Amino acid sequence: MSAARASAAAGAIASAARGGLPRHVAIIMDGNGRWAKKRLLPRVAGHRAGVDAVRKVVRAAGEIGVEALTLYAFSSENWRRPQSEIADLMGLLRRYLLAELEELAQGGVQLRILGDLGRFDPELREMIEGAVARTASNEGMILAVALNYGAQDELVEAARALATDAAAGRIEPAAIDASAMEARLSTAGLPPLDLMIRTSGEKRLSNFLLWQAAYAELIFVDTLWPDFDRTALEAALADYARRERRYGGL
Give pLDDT tens digits for 112-130.
Answer: 999 999 999 999 999 999 9
Q: Per-residue pLDDT tens for 66-89?
A: 999 999 999 999 999 999 999 999
User: pLDDT confidence of 247, banded at 50, 70, 90?
Assistant: confident
Q: Which one is catalytic: 30, 88, 148, 194?
A: 30
DSSP state of 219: E
Using CA atoms, how far apart are residues 85 and 76, in angstroms rounded to an integer? 15
pLDDT tier at 11 (50, 70, 90 boundaries)? low
206 carries a ligand binding annotation: yes
The whole-number pLDDT of residue 1 equals 46
> Model pTM greater than 0.85?
yes
Which pLDDT does position 250 carry in this prediction?
A: 64
111 carries a ligand binding annotation: no
Q: Is 2 annotated as a binding residue?
A: no
**Would the annotation count 35 as a binding residue?**
yes
Is 138 a catalytic site residue? no
Please indicate if the annotation marks 47 as binding a ligand.
yes
Task: For Cα atoms 13, 235, 12, give the angle at the middle one, nearest 5 degrees.
Answer: 20
Check if 78 is active-site: yes
Query: 31 among the known binding-site residues?
Result: yes
**Burial group, residue 111, by CB count within 10 angstroms (0-12, 13-18, 19+):** buried
Q: Which of 52, 78, 153, 177 is catalytic?
A: 78
Q: Which of 10, 69, 32 has the alpha carbon at shortest distance from 224? A: 32
Which tens digit of pLDDT belongs to each residue from 198-225?
999 999 999 999 999 999 999 999 999 9
* Helix, strand counts (H, E) of the chain: 8, 6
Was 205 annotated as part of a binding site? yes
Average pLDDT, the chain: 93
All domains of the chain, ordered by start, with CATH? Answer: 3-242 (3.40.1180.10)
How far is CA 233 from each of CA 6, 62, 68, 156, 230, rounded to the nearest angstrom?
13, 12, 14, 32, 5
Span 159-182, pLDDT tens digits? 999 999 999 999 999 999 999 999
